[in-house]
Amino acid sequence: MVTKAEETELNQLENQVENGGGGVWEYLCLVRKLKVRRSELVLKHGLSILNDPGKRSSLGPDEWTLYEQVAIAAMDCQSLGAAQNCIKVLQKKFPESKRVGKLEALLLEAKGMWEEAEKAYSILLEDNPLDQVIHKRKVAMAKAQGKPSSAIEHLNKYLEVFMADHDAWRELAEIYVSLQMYKQAAFCYEELILSQPTLPLYHLAYAEVLYTIGGQENLIAARKYYASTIDLTGGKSTRALFGICLCGSAIAQLSKGRNKEDKDMAAPELQSLAATALEKEYKQKAPAKLNLLSSALRSLKL
Amino acid sequence: MDQEALLAGKATHQQPEKRSFLIISSILASQALEKLAYYGLAPNMILYLTGEYGMATTEAAKIILLWSAATNFFPLVGAFVADSYTGRFPLIGFGSSTSLLGMLLLWLATIIQPECDKSTEVCQPTTPLQLTLLYSFFTLTSIGAGGVRSSCLAFAADQLQLNTTSRTATSALETLFNWYYCSIMLAYFLSQSFLVFIQTKYGWQIGFGVSVVAMALSLKCEPGLVSGLLQVLVAAFRNRHVDLSSEEHIISYYHETGSSCSIPSQKLRYLNKACATSDPKRDLTLEGKSRSPWKLCRVQQVEDLKSLVNVLPICSTGIILSLVTASQASFIVLQASAMDRRTFIQGFEIPPGSYSVFMITSFVLFLVIYEIVVVPLVSWIIRKPFRLGVMVRMGVGISVSVLCISSLATVEYVRRKRARDEGGTMLSAMWLSPYMILGGISEAFLAIAQNEFLYSELPKSMSSVATTLSGLGLAASSIVSSWIITVVDIATCRSWITEDIDEGHLDYYYWLVAALSLLNVLYFVWCSKGYVSTRHTAMAIRVSLLLLVFLSSAVVSFSLYEDQVGLMDWHQRYIGKVKHAVFHTQKAGRKRVIVSTEENVVASLDLRHGEMFWRHVLGTNDAIDGVDIALGKYVITLSSQGSMLRAWNLPDGQMVWETSLHSAQSSKSLLSVPINLKVDKDYPILAFGGGYLHAVSAVDGEVLWKKDFTAEGFEVQRVLQPPESSIIYVLGFLHSSEAVVYQIDSKTGEVVAQKSMVFPGGFSGAISSVSSDKVVVLDSTRSILVTIGFLDGDINFQKTPISDLVKNSGNAEILSPLLSNMLAVKVNKRTIFVRVGGEGKLEVVDSLSDETAMSDSLPVADDQVAFASAHHEGSKIHLMVKLVDDLDTVLLRESIEMDQHRGRVHKVFINNYIKTDRSNGFRALIVMEDHSLLLLQQGAIVWSREEGLASVTDVTTAELPVEKDGVSVAKVEHTLVDWLKGHMLKLKGSLLLASLEDVAAIQEMRMKSSGRSKLTRDHNGFRKLFIALTRAGKLFALHTGDGRIVWSMLLNSPTKSEACERPSGINLYQWQVPHHHAMDENPSVLVVGRCGSDSSAPGVLSFVDVYTGKEISSSDIGHSVVRVMPLPFTDSTEQRLHLIADTEGHVHLYPKTSEALSIFQREFQNVYWYTVEGDDGIIRGHGMKSSCAGETADEYCFTTKELWTVVFPSESEKIISTLTRKPNEVVHTQAKVSTDQDLLYKYVSRNLLFVATVSPKGAGEIGSVTPEESALVVYLIDTITGRILHRLSHQGCQGPVHAVFSENWVVYHYFNLRAHKYEVTVVEIYDQSRAENKNVWKLVLGKHNLTAPISSYSRPEMFTKSQSYFFAQSVKTIAVTSTAKGITSKQLLIGTIGDQILALDKRFVDPRRTLNPSQAEKEEGIIPLTDSLPIIPQSYITHSLKVEGLRGIVTAPAKLESTTHVFAYGVDLFYTRLAPSKTYDSLTDDFSYALLLITIVALVAAIYITWVISEKKELSEKWR
């Protein structure tokens, strides 16, 4: 996560660098440290350093890190020539290095030579089967090729080993959602909630998947998770408030004409509370759209 | 590199100069060409022999080594032949032609060499003709080389040496040497590279032709040196029956007149027989030449041979080195040919024979780098002149050779392994270069150093041999090498050294040589240890061993100059004021004078330089009464009032015999050595003393007879012996009123006749004998001269009143000089000469002023007798030698400018010698008022000795002036330019190019840079002045650095005429020690003197500036001096206040200024002092009372009141020793912390007096009483209150007590009669009153109030601890070390009976010592209790030296806390610096800065390297 202070520092440096005020190296370091994506700037300024032998040699051993950074940035910017040059230098310096091997594979990937890249990754994996980055690259490659099923396959394989990698779980969940495989997605979200129970986003996403699946039980569960989202965010989540309203109306529709117990399930008070909260929020922040809201809520028969 | 020239230092053949240049250049050319030919052939010869002749490698190597040995050996033979018989030029011609013939034969041999199939290496067997040709080539070239090499350089040098002594010739010689080596090097280089490469071996004949033609004609012949050496051996063998040990005075050594050495040295004494002759008339011709040189040699020859024998062991160490470097040439060629010889130049291969070029290059390069880079750089870094000593360099060279051959063996091992394992691939021949480079370095070290060593150690006449000796080493190494190869070959069944070196094990052979080299290093160490005369030996040993241990090729070690090796002590030997002097100048050999002195020293001095040949210090009670020479070889001394007669060997001073004469009563003593009295082959000596007259044999000291005069109370005054008579006349007085003459038979001692006659008036004692039958004596009223004649045993008196001779005469005094027929009488402050006429008639012939000193009469030529007189006039001394018979005939009149501070002449001794014009010359030995001894000859002071320093009475220290800007003596090397200049000079010096001025400049620079003798203050306070007051009343300032006299000052120089004529100095005090605000003032000392010997005589004060040695002022103080008390107050000019007590009980304040008075009056009530009346056994304490009343008194005089008295019972106790603490002693800690956190407070008081008493019976000598009768009691008395703080009695003990008082302890030494041993007791006093304050932390943190006022009047609560130990030695004096702040632990300095100083750690005399100290106590450093104190030989700070007649030890702190100056005086002076707890606060002088530097550099390098490596590692880890 990039904190506010870091962000201001980054922006300041960026501004300074853009206007030729020096501090290029510090900027590049910060970019690397914060893992932000400023590929064009990195490429531009990184190359300016690398092309100047004086500046380059003054970096000492960090020179090679810069080569790597620039190479990745260059690939990002599709200036494959520059990337290739950088990698060549690294290759010459560290002939046996896996790290450079990765870069080479990345370059292949960037060039769109999927099979070669695949092959290169497999070779690297043979040496180090537990390299997370390579696994993830494979997933990314599959995605880039438009093969979500193979991406899912790779991800599953990966998650069998690295079960605690929530980013991977989330990615998998999103792929499932994109393939409308909601049940699988719901499983992924469950895993995520288990690993990070205080993060409202997962609750919300899970609630939405449940809502999308539909069915009374799912809707009730969805409404619960919406509620927990509201709970976790302190009532700030507008989407969750809407979700409760929608869930309430959906449950009410499903339980129409059912017995009293079922009607209780609709919990109209909750619905109306959410609606009130929504109205109040709209009144505060967007009074112009209050009418629109009231009409929408009314359409939900509230 | 080899040297083969005979450079005869004695070649003085005259040559026309213009021809020289041509001749020299042609000689050098021919020499170079010969070298070119030889070295062109030598390397490839092994290839030629193995390849073309199909010889086995071993065989070929042997042949070549023998050839090389012969080539190196024949020059020696050549030199012998040339020097002894033929002369040099014919030999050069012969040599050149022989070589030429040899080369032609070889050329012939190459034509008819055996057929060999190169591919199969199968050769036809060699025919005898071929072999004959080959071998004759070898023989002829060797012989030829012998001719050419031996004589070439010497011949060239002959051309130059027009005059050996002139500067130009010497420098030309140097140039010649330089060019010679240049040409040799060039030839060597060319032959090794160019000639071998193009393989043209036939071009040299032309060169020889040219050289033969070019030589000019010159022939000369002189007896050679080598034959001289052989003569010595032969002569020594032929003279083997000569007994050198006895009769040394009879044996004379044959030496050339004018030669510097006339007596051979004592080492290798057997060879001395070659030059000893017992009968010069038989062995010498009339011109003084030896009749047969094979029977009697010159001393010079003998010494030459000795020095040669001495250097041979060191020289022989070079053999193995040559074995390593030179003799492996043939194997190197084989090796190189089996290696990859390609170079970076395409298609160019270095020929295998040329690899030796690398060694030469390395040799030259290393020398250049060493001289130009290493030496100046290291010197600059260590800020000290850096130079490796000869021995060190030789050691290094030999040690490096081990590395060198090891590297070669390793390379061979790798090469062989690779050749066998991998077949085709060859190791690069460049791997031979480590061997080559190291070989060059080791050669460079050894060859130069060895030549330097030989040149310096061998006498000048041997320099020709010196040059050939190293060549001889090379020859020997070749033979040894060939021998080793044979042995190895046989022992290994031909498996190591084979034709194909891949098959054999050359590496094993190399390892063998390496092992030999290693042994050689040890051999060198052993040799150099044995070679005592070389100062750098110890260093060499260390360096060699160091190198051996580290086996490191980086040779970083340095030697010290000898002045730095001497470190910090000095020792000066003196003899004291001369009483008698006897000259010994007749015999050939060293002229010497035998003196006896008031310090009871008998010594033999070199008349030429004043150095001591030998010296003996007799005991303090063994005063010398007479000294003479008997038999021309023994020095006879009579001492101890005529009861000890000793004979010392004249040349070396060894005691020959000692006879204790019977002595019954104390009386005057008399020694008489009759000149030509001979009794049965014996030469009796007559000695009178203690009432007995003894005749003692001069040969063995046996008493021949003795005559007892004790009964009559007869006192012998004169022993006279008429010539040609066996009767001796003994004249004496009986009861000083009766003159008695005994005629005694000198054979038996029987009294032949006795006559006596009473003189009514009585005699006064002093007697002067004027002739063989007359003496003159004064009567008891000292107004009548009585002439006693005793011709034929009859005695007659003739009285002559002095008033008849001189008007208005008072009391007269007969002066001591013995003049014939004349006497000197001192009357009315004038000296009159009275001639005694034939009938005893007296007449005055001359009168002189009182200040004249006279010598005894001395027979000069023609039966005439002369005497010398010396008197002062202004600053000059007039010395006159007159004939006794005719006082107007002045034989010699000289006036000599004399230093004012020597005072008047006290004594004159003269001696005559025959000048070249047959006239008499005189030398006079004079003793001055300040006791100095001078030899005057030809109107100049030849030498002088400051003998006043033998009787130092008081010593104090003084600081030197502060080093100011502009007076810096170390100015050189301050700027880079100066620094470079200095090093250029030094470089010049070491290359032997320096001119005389340069040498002087270098010497000066060294002097300046050796900081120890600078005349300025140094940071550590190591440089100081010791101000010494001598008994003669002279002040000397001695520099601690080298003991030289900075200035000297006689307190009463003759220019001053004062009321007080002869003040004697009593004591020295620090008068003004400026620091802080009074820095501009020079410090000064106060000398307190007395106008007479009586204690009530008026005192004299003298103030002397310490820096300049000038007397600032002096004053007669008009009152007596009993005690001088320096007060702890100073006035505004830092003058210390002193109180002087007089006999009347008054004290006087000095300086007499109002400021001082005001300061004193403030402290008036607090000034106390005490007096010790030893005879009465009373100690009195005094306090100030009031100002003096009376007309003479001034305001600076005060009366005192008696405060207390301690009276010791006179029947049981007698004071024998009192002692207080040194007033300027510093005590650092007031408390002692023991390990169990217990605190002991020292009772530190300035007012403590240590008193030792014994029972009156025990006051005598040790052993004179029984244990029951004697008791020793010691007291500690507070001098303010008179309170006895501590009393300790030792039953059965007696003095003398020697004590030392420091801080809170006293250590004293006495004799325990019961145990029959000396004992040492320590008493430590601790303060009980503060004992409650036991909190160490309070003390450490400074909370504890230690400055609480302590009053002597408060009742002291103190306790003492004491312990006694046995001590094995008798003690002369004890002192204790003192340091600047008193932190350093103390050492007792014990002056032992052997006149040495023993440093005993105070921890040994610690009363807290117990038998079994606990662990904690051990940690504290408490030594387990033993019953006696250890005497560890290493703790003698005087090492092997003796401070003869040791009287006192003075210690003074240096500024550096750890260090203390120790100065011991007696007859000798000794100074050293001590660090009782080691120098914990400074680096020692021999601290290796180079090592420190290297360590730092290595550390930094290591840090950098590890940093780089870790960086790399980290990076590669990152990028794995």
Q: What is the pLDDT of residue B1054?
A: 47
Q: Which of B822, B903, B901, B832 has its CA nearest to residue B867?
A: B822
Residues 1492-1511 of B with CB under 8 A from A: 1511
Among the partner-chain residues B1511, B1514, B1519, the one whose CB lies closest to the CB of A99 is: B1519
> How far A31 CA lies from chain B's nearest CA (Å)?
19
Q: What is the pLDDT of residue B885?
A: 76
Q: What is the pLDDT of residue B217?
A: 30
CA B1219 from chain centre, in angstroms, equals 37
Q: What is the pLDDT of residue B1273?
A: 92
Rounded alpha-carbon distances, angstroms, from residue A88 to A95, B97, B533 = 10, 75, 73
Q: Is B1518 in the A-facing interface, judged by CB distances under 8 Å?
A: yes
CB-CB contact of B1285 with B1325 (8 Å): yes
**A90–B1519: do the CB atoms touch at under 8 Å?**
yes
Q: What is the mean pLDDT of residues B1434-1448?
A: 86
Q: Tell me which chain A residues have a C-beta less than 8 angstroms from the C-beta of B1516.
A: 94
Question: Which helix (H) or strand (E) covers residue B1325, if one does?
Answer: strand B1317-1327
pLDDT tens across B1023-1043, in order?
888 999 988 888 899 988 888
Q: What percent of chain B has pLDDT over 90?
A: 7
Reported pTM:
0.58
Q: Tell me which chain B residues have a C-beta less than 8 angstroms from the C-beta of A64.
A: 1515, 1518-1519
pLDDT per residue, tens digit, chain A (302 aa), is 678 888 888 888 888 888 877 788 888 888 888 888 888 888 888 888 888 888 888 888 788 888 888 998 998 888 888 888 888 888 888 888 888 888 888 888 888 888 888 888 888 888 888 888 888 888 888 888 888 889 999 899 898 888 888 889 998 999 999 999 999 999 999 989 998 899 899 999 999 999 998 888 898 899 999 999 999 998 888 899 989 888 888 888 887 766 666 666 667 788 888 888 888 888 888 888 888 888 888 887 65
**A94–B1511: do the CB atoms touch at under 8 Å?**
no
> Which residues are within 8 A (CB) of B626 and not within 5 positions of it... i.e. 6 or more apart?
B580, B596, B636, B637, B638, B669, B670, B671
pLDDT for residue B167 is more than 90: no
Backbone region of residue B476 per phi and psi (left: phi > 0; alpha: psi in -120 to 50; beta: other values): alpha
| Residue B1241 binned pLDDT confidence (cut-offs 50, 70, 90) | confident
Q: Is A146 in the B-facing interface, judged by CB distances under 8 Å?
A: no
Q: What is the pLDDT of residue B10?
A: 36
Q: Tell me which chain B residues have a C-beta less than 8 angstroms from the C-beta of A87.
A: none
| Residue B1451 binned pLDDT confidence (cut-offs 50, 70, 90) | very high
Q: Which residue has the higher pLDDT, B299 or B424?
A: B299
**Among A39-48, B313-322, B1495-1504, which is the least confidently predicted range?**
B313-322
For B1476, the 3-state DSSP assignment is: coil
pLDDT for residue B111 is more than 70: no
Question: Which helix (H) or strand (E) covers residue B135, if one does?
Answer: helix B128-160
State the average pLDDT for chain B.
75
Nearest chain A residue (CA) to B1520: A97
Exposed (0-12), middle (13-18) or buried (19+): which is B157, by Cβ within 10 Å? Answer: buried
> Which residues are within 8 A (CB) of A155 and not within 5 positions of it... i.e. 6 or more apart?
A139, A168, A171, A172, A175
For B1314, the 3-state DSSP assignment is: coil
pLDDT tens across B173-185, in order?
555 555 666 666 6
Domain parsing of chain A, residue ranges = 1-10+23-96
Residues 748-787 of B with CB under 8 A from A: none
pLDDT tens across B1156-1207, in order?
888 888 888 888 888 888 888 899 998 888 888 776 667 888 888 888 999 9
pLDDT for residue B94 is more than 50: yes
> Which residues are within 8 A (CB) of B242 and not within 5 positions of it... i.e. 6 or more apart?
B251, B273, B276, B278
Residue B590 DSSP symbol: -
> How far A59 CA lies from chain B's nearest CA (Å)?
13
Q: Is A103 in the B-facing interface, judged by CB distances under 8 Å?
A: no
pLDDT for residue B218 is more than 50: no
Among the partner-chain residues A61, A98, A100, the one whose CB lies closest to the CB of B1515 is: A61
pLDDT for residue B1463 is more than 70: yes
Mutation site for A-interface testing, chosen from B1508, B1517, B1519 by largest number of A Cβ within 10 Å: B1519
Nearest chain B residue (CA) to A96: B1520
| Residue B973 binned pLDDT confidence (cut-offs 50, 70, 90) | very low
Q: Is A94 in the B-facing interface, judged by CB distances under 8 Å?
A: yes
Q: Tell me which chain B residues have a C-beta less than 8 angstroms from the C-beta of A97.
A: 1519-1520
Q: What is the pLDDT of residue B2?
A: 35
CA torsion angle B58 B62 B64 B67 (round to 10): -170
pLDDT tens across B831-890, in order?
788 877 766 677 777 777 766 788 887 877 777 788 888 888 778 888 888 887 777 778
Among the partner-chain residues A64, A98, A100, the one whose CB lies closest to the CB of B1515 is: A64
Q: Tell me which chain A residues have a C-beta less than 8 angstroms from the C-beta of B1511.
A: 60-61
Nearest chain B residue (CA) to A100: B1519
Nearest chain A residue (CA) to B1512: A61
| Residue B1 binned pLDDT confidence (cut-offs 50, 70, 90) | very low
Nearest chain A residue (CA) to B1518: A99
Q: Tell me which chain B residues have a C-beta less than 8 angstroms from the C-beta of A90.
A: 1519
Residue B246 DSSP symbol: S
CB-CB contact of B1102 with B1046 (8 Å): no
Q: Is A289 in the B-facing interface, judged by CB distances under 8 Å?
A: no
Among the partner-chain residues A90, A93, A98, the one whose CB lies closest to the CB of B1520 is: A98
Q: Which residue has the higher pLDDT, B1429 or B77?
A: B1429
Q: What is the pLDDT of residue B192?
A: 56
Q: Which residue has the higher pLDDT, A294 or B789?
A: A294
pLDDT for residue B288 is more than 60: no
Q: Is B1520 in the A-facing interface, judged by CB distances under 8 Å?
A: yes
Q: CB-side exposure of B261: number of CA atoms within 13 Å?
A: 15
pLDDT for residue B1405 is more than 60: yes
pLDDT for residue B211 is more than 50: no
pLDDT tens across B668-690, in order?
778 888 776 777 677 788 888 87
Nearest chain B residue (CA) to A103: B1519
Among the partner-chain residues A61, A65, A98, the one whose CB lies closest to the CB of B1511 is: A61
Token pair for B133: 């040709």
Q: Give this complex's ipTM.
A: 0.72
Task: Scan for tokens 């003074």, then name that residue.
Answer: B1452
pLDDT for residue B705 is more than 50: yes
Q: Is A61 in the B-facing interface, judged by CB distances under 8 Å?
A: yes
Rg, chain A, Cα only: 26
**Among A197-211, A224-238, B57-71, B86-100, which is the least confidently predicted range?**
B86-100
**A97–B1520: do the CB atoms touch at under 8 Å?**
yes
Q: Is B1075 in the A-facing interface, judged by CB distances under 8 Å?
A: no
Q: Is B1515 in the A-facing interface, judged by CB distances under 8 Å?
A: yes
Backbone CA torsion sign across B1197, B1198, B1202, B1203: negative
Phi, psi of B446 (to 5 degrees): -75, -45
Task: Scan for tokens 């002149």, then name that residue.
Answer: B385
d(CA B1417, CA B609): 59
Q: What is the pLDDT of residue B1465?
A: 93
Q: Which of B140, B216, B155, B167 has its CA nearest to residue B13?
A: B155
CB-CB contact of B22 with B216 (8 Å): yes
Residues 209-268 of B with CB under 8 A from A: none
Phi, psi of B1369 (to 5 degrees): -120, 155
Nearest chain B residue (CA) to A97: B1520
Cis previous bond, B1296, omega within 30: yes
Q: What is the mean pLDDT of residues B6-19?
A: 40
pLDDT for residue B464 is more than 70: no
Q: What is the pLDDT of residue B189?
A: 64
pLDDT for residue B78 is more than 80: no
pLDDT tens across B1081-1109, in order?
788 888 888 877 777 778 888 888 888 88
Q: Is B1519 in the A-facing interface, judged by CB distances under 8 Å?
A: yes
